[in-house]
Amino acid sequence: MFVALRSDSAPVRDRRRDPVRERLASKVVIEAEIGSARAKLVQLIERVGRSQDRSAFKSLFEYFAPRIRAYYAKRGLAQSHADDLTQEVMVSLWRRAASYDPRKAAPSTWIYTIARNQQIDDFRRSSRAQQIDEQDPHFHLNDVPTQDSLVERSEDADSVVQALSSLPEEQRYVLNLAFQEGLSHREIADRLGLPLGTVKSRIRLAMDKMRVSIGEQE
């Protein structure tokens, strides 16, 4: 998952107060935390899939449901609508848990795709205009949190957030408009008053940088 900075590749140094070493050490700790958080989520999903384990489901619910609902709300869905869709996602989680393959996607990525598809299906059933308030006045440029504001370590998402926060602002902003506000690349070009080619190249540059720092999903 990480390109470098694994415990076994850390250089051996004697000095006690070595800042490089300290940074490496904390990175290793973070990695271990992320690894165990992820393993725990995988186990919970597998328990639901294998034995319809209600308590495992409740743990997953507590972890994911509030975030899914907040995510829908940020995308401009009315509260009751966000509530309904979030419950649908949790129902899907229950039903599809048996088919979850941890080698293909981290738990959060798997649930994210369920949430996204749920919204698309719902969206195709009704008209777009009724659902999205594109002039949402509550939008802020700094909505993508920096690493410091992380409260909980959440497996894969963590390294991606780090990579996001290291992007130049104009590139991060474009990804933010897409994933948080739900705008297509052409809508982003309209919103920012930029040529389509400029928006496309910002996305390309952002993804080239992200690829280097987040690496492949193991």
Residues that bind another protein (CB under 8 A): 54, 57-58, 61-62, 65-71, 73-74, 83, 86-87, 90-91, 94-95, 105-106, 108-109, 111-113, 115-117, 119-120, 124, 144-145, 150, 154, 156-158, 160-161, 164, 175-176, 178-180, 182-187, 199-200, 203-204, 207, 210-211, 214, 217
Shortest Cβ distance from residue 102 to another protein (Å)? 14
In the complex with another protein, the residue whose CB is nearer, 21 or 162, is 162
Q: Please provide residue 146's backbone torsions phi and psi, each rounded to the nearest 5 degrees.
A: -85, 175
Reference 213, options 42, 45, 2; nearest CA is 2
**Contact call for residues 211 and 165 (beta carbons, < 8 A):** no
Shortest separation between residue 16's beta carbon and another protein, angstroms: 35
> What is the C-alpha separation between 181 and 177, in angstroms, rounded?
5
Q: What span, in angstroms and rounded, lies between the C-alpha atoms of 215 and 85?
A: 32
**Residue 5 or residue 70: which is nearer to another protein going by CB?**
70
Least distance from another protein to the Cβ atom of residue 206, Å:
8
CA distances from 152 to 3, 33, 118 (A): 22, 10, 26
Least Å distance, CB 123 to another protein, is: 8
Distance CA 60, CA 86 (A): 13
Looking up tokens 């992820």 gives 38
Closest separation in Å from C-beta 19 to another protein: 28
Judged by beta carbon, residue 12 or residue 129, the one nearer another protein is 129
